[in-house]
Structure 1
Amino acid sequence: MCRNFLLVRNKFPDKLIDENFQFKDDTFNDYCTNKCDTDLEKISAGCLYFLNTFFGSSELFAQYSNNYMNILEYIIIWLSYMLNLIKNEKNDSLDFFYRVYINGSDKYKTPINYVESCSNYKELIDKTNMMNMDIKDISKFYDAFILLCEMYSGFDEHSPNCNKYFEDATKFVEKYKNLNGDSSITGKNSYSQLLCTLSTDYDNFKNKCKNAKCNNITSFPEIKTQTTVKCSVQGSEVTPSSSSIANNLLLVLFIFGAIGIFLGISYKYSLFGFRKRAQKQYLREKIKNIKKRINH
């Protein structure tokens, strides 16, 4: 997920150049309206790029189906940050952009039929309930989010740089504490949910470091979440661990192997006209024991 956000940041810098946004290449051309002549049109093209990248097909959505709301939250954080860099008709909320570009453009009506209660991109965005939030406040989450993305993208499980991960984790937690102590953010459930999403993905990053055998993992700083929102254990960057996949694969192989032996013996005895019920029962018990050993 994070690599896509960092790719957009590289090709569509999150800063003004000569008081305007600039595309570095033609990556976003297919998402433009009126050739992206204005900054708002460029931002809309970037937003559509994200939506298409993560939700453009059922195959893409399947990769993120357990955490797609977290990804939508991050898209809105990016959108708010970019809008906050320019002047628009209603610069304190997403409402103007929503009315003109999301609600008023056919590109956001791209049909989808694989997300529950959503028939297009617009309805996906509606599910976030973030369109009336203050873009200045949402923008405050951007630096922490980008740092977390850089931490994930720079992670190497085969050759971990644990000291670097610790330094980045310390910086992230400091940014998180600043957000958590901001009176314009705390106490509001919508913003608390964003804090929750960040903290969950941070904890998942720590788990990656732990699995990579970082000896300094106990020194990684903890973060405290607000009690008003229950955080999910599943963040935006969670994928099944290789050990989990391996265990499941071994279980399948053992079961199929045992079944093959069972069928082979059964076939042998049937050829010779013997009925060995006790032998079959014994093999069934062996299969059960194999399952138990694998699960434990």
Structure 2
Amino acid sequence: MNKKVYCTNNNCATEFDKINAGCLYLFNALFVDYNAFKDNSNNNIDVVYYIIIWLSYMLSLKKDNGINKLNDFYIDHIEKNTHYIKKIEGVREYKCYKKIIDQKKDLLDMNNNIISNFYKAFKSLCEMYSTFGGNTSNCKKISDKANQFFEEYNELNNYSDITKGSPYYKLLSTLSNDYDHLKNICKDAQGSNFPTLPEINTPKDTIKIPGEFSEQKFEQKSATNSAQNYDIRSSSSSIVSKLIPVVSIFVAISIFFGISYKYSLFGFRKRSQKHLRGKLKK
């Protein structure tokens, strides 16, 4: 893979340029044309939620970066970027990557630190699907990881400002749907033990959590309209399962584009770098 293709003017001069290049690579992997759109995303653009979680987490690792909301990054690196407004061949519903992002634009007004808090749960869910590998004999192996996801989900679910139809609600319910999908697949597998997730809390039954996370307020400009069209149980197939073919690349692209980050990211150690570089260069 020629990384310069994903860089503005063929040059990733800053850390933000590199992060943007990684983000663009993910969109190419999932939505570049009709076949990718059908095979990888199953015509379900909710997979964009996970790209946004990854993007938010990568930005959160850059302290004092001046980006408080994803909309800041969107304006600077996506809105007028020719890579994001290039036509997707064979797909009527979404003319370009920017149009796909615009369908989830309410997330862009959320505080970046809030979205990045979803990363741990997303990471656990990806690891569960990766270990599962489409084989129910592996269900027992991921029971411990299911318990870890359960704890991370509950931490997110205790946030005091969850409103049905809000961006936060959508992210949480997307994670919940994909967990439940795997839980249902493994329900009859020997030794499988997946805890049942509670319903998403509403303001009347949440508690105020001390600390920065609970104090953050996110804008809910389109919450009312979104709630009318959004059903937390609407997903009949797992979004994450479609993301698994490229999930290992989340770390690989960070290494390949030279984005500095903590080596604990996605649980890969330094010794994985050479293998991941080789995988991308093929």
**Is this contact kept in 2: 1:180–1:195, CA < 8 A?**
yes
Aligned equivalent of 1:60, options 14, 36, 45: 36
Give the Cα–Cα distance (whole angstroms) in 1 for the partners of residues 186 and 96 of structure 2.
Answer: 38
* Higher alpha-carbon deviation: 98-107 or 66-75: 66-75
Letter in 2 for 1:40: F
Q: Which residue of 2 aligns with 1:19?
A: none
> Could you tell me which residue of structure 1 aligns to residue 127 of structure 2?
150
Contact kept, 8 Å, 1:195 with 1:225, in 2: the verdict is no
Structure 2 counterpart of 1:105: 81
Among 27, 30, 44, which residue is 2:5 paired with?
30
What stretches of structure 1 of length at least 5 have no aligned partner?
1-25, 240-296
Instruction: Please give the root-mean-square deviation of Cα atoms over the aligned residues, in Å.
Output: 2.4
Aligned residue for 2:108, secondary structure, equals coil
The structure having more radius of gyration, on CA atoms, is: 1
Distance 1:36 1:74 in 2: 23
Q: Give 1:39 deviation, angstroms.
A: 0.6
The residue that corresponds to 2:239 in the other structure is 236
Number of residue pairs aligned between Structure 1 and Structure 2: 210
CA deviations over 1:151-208 (Å, ceiling 9, x no partner): 101114557244321111111011000000022x523611111111001100111123
- Whether the 8 Å contact between 2:121 and 2:153 is mirrored in structure 1 is yes
1:151-230 aligned within 5 A: 151-158=128-135, 160-183=137-160, 186-187=162-163, 189-210=166-187, 213-217=188-192, 219-226=193-200, 230=231
Residue 98 of structure 2 is aligned to residue 122 of structure 1: yes
Name the residue aligned to 2:275. none
Q: Give 1:230 deviation, angstroms.
A: 2.5
**Structure 2: where are the runs of 5+ without partners?**
203-226, 243-282
Using the size of structure 1 for normalisation, the TM-score is 0.64
Amino acid at match of 1:215: Q
CA contact (8 A) 2:47 2:239 kept: yes
Q: 2:139, 2:241 → 1: CA distance?
A: 20
Q: Which amino acid aligns with 1:193?
A: K
- Quick one: structure 1 residues 233 and 114, their matched pair in 2 at CA, closer, same or farther if it must change by over 3 Å? same
Identity of aligned residues (%): 40
TM-score, normalised with respect to structure 2: 0.67
Contact 1:67 1:236 in 2 (8 A): no
Displacement of 1:134: 1.1
Q: Tell me how far 1:83 sits from its aligned partner.
A: 1.1
Q: 1:169 to 1:67 in 2, by over 3 A?
A: farther
